[in-house]
Structure 1
């Protein structure tokens, strides 16, 4: 019940008391010509009716009590509303914080993936390496260092050591595998360049692409090689 309706009830109660009193007075005046017995009965009836009506002070007390109850109810409702708003704000803040955290984690993952992809890509393209008529092992290794990411070079080197000993013209007489990577058949290295038979840079580029695509990196390929003695 709102404060306005409570106060309206109290006013209505007071008005009822006044109206009943007026009615009783009129009734008493109208009976003045009746006999004594009737007047006694009317007086007794009037007293009984008035006894049933709260005194004016009682009405004021009830009004004050109801008003106080309405105030308490209103204050309670306001407190509950504030609590609900605070809880809603807390939940929204928590949701915003979680969203920011997830966005930051996703950005970190994407950044890491990009860095890994960059580290797997050739540092120097084979086309930028000067072509020679022949190459020593040291020269081939120097070319590889220019093309292979630093954190992957040792793994790459381990595989080449086992496969060809850094001889870019190494040929397996039984299988026909060819070159630094011992590609089988060797002609598949044409995807990196038509000079795959004579250019170690072309072979290195093909080998790096193969290791990245199949094992995610030269180190991934080396891990597989150690477990299987092939890659």
Structure 2
């Protein structure tokens, strides 16, 4: 594959989605061929699964069922959208990928990171990101942002107790050490302009080294 697979990760309210869309436009302005997408979702089948796993009414979804649904959505999105774009040489910016499942289902839900990683290895085979940006912000501040943002879609994860979000945050720091070769931390507790600049600098640095 000649493209570049860059994923954006973080807890609720980290601002990664807003930054992703902004950097998508800025990279295109610089002449890069970029595709922005998200998980779960990005294509019709995966968006349907997204509606199931994030619907606030679907509170009965069992933990392993949830992990499997995310992996299923990931597989379809990968083969239908991400891999073809990478083969065309595009830069793919993806809002969440495998690390989200490891953090949310593996660690915060208590299923085990290794167990959830095994499910996802079956789903993605060897298609892991080239670069992952982790948007780091204290869960209390992230959740406060969500509460203040009336335009953000509410999802099932917003119903979780604070301890769950603490576990997610803890998980990402474990993953930062586990995947130190591809994961880089972005300080998300600053102005949007500063966060965007830091993220853009990391991406451009990676792209320049890859040339």
Question: Which category describes the TM-score, using the shorter chain as reference length?
Answer: under 0.3
More strand by share: 2
Higher RCO structure, 1 or 2 (CA under 8 Å, sep 6+): 2
More helix by share: 1
Give the alignment's TM-score, normalised by structure 2: 0.23
Q: Which protein shows a greater Rg?
A: 1
Give the alignment's TM-score, normalised by structure 1: 0.22
